[in-house]
Amino acid sequence: MAGEQWRVWAARIAVVVAAVVVFVALSKLWTFANQDDPAVVEQGSISRLATAACARMRESAVASSVATTAPVPRRVGAINAQNDAVVELVTTMQTLGSARLEADQPASQWLEDWQRLVVARDAYARSLASGKPKPLQLPTIDGRPLVERLNNVGLNCRVPLVLLAP
């Protein structure tokens, strides 16, 4: 009988240990599934609005583009019009409210990066207008180039090439 009782207790212990292991594994999976990825925008409302706003921005940017051989005032005007399209994108996204944007970590940083692009392009436009053009200088943030940060947040909103070659 002692051998049989031992097997019953061993079976009970094995069942309890298996249940604990399954519980721990499921709780870890649940935590992982509900954790915000700090590198990717995941909220559907942000993604949908960004997709629509980016499409409008791309259309405006392309429509405003001029050849690099165009007269300087016309080039500066095109750069300003393209910057206005980016500002419109940022303004549209901000209608979601800061609480919602900050709830999905990279969303607010993404908008700040678009504003950084506008600042860099504006500096280039001013240097062009002054007759002393300096190359477009895009910043690097936390060791990552600005364009990489803008393009890699999981949104369907890549920086149009016309914004990078004013």
- Residue-wise pLDDT for 50-105, tens only, equals 999 999 999 999 999 999 899 999 999 999 999 999 999 999 999 999 999 988 88
In this predicted structure, what is the pLDDT of residue 7?
A: 79
Give the tens place of pLDDT for each residue, 126-149.
999 999 989 999 999 999 999 999
Integer Cα distance of 144 and 149 in angstroms: 7
Whole-model pTM: value is 0.77
The 10 Å CB-count burial string (b at 16+, else e) for 37-71 is eeeebebeebbebbeebbeebbebbeebbbeeeee
Predicted confidence band at 115 (pLDDT cuts at 50, 70, 90)? very high
DSSP structural state of residue 159 = P
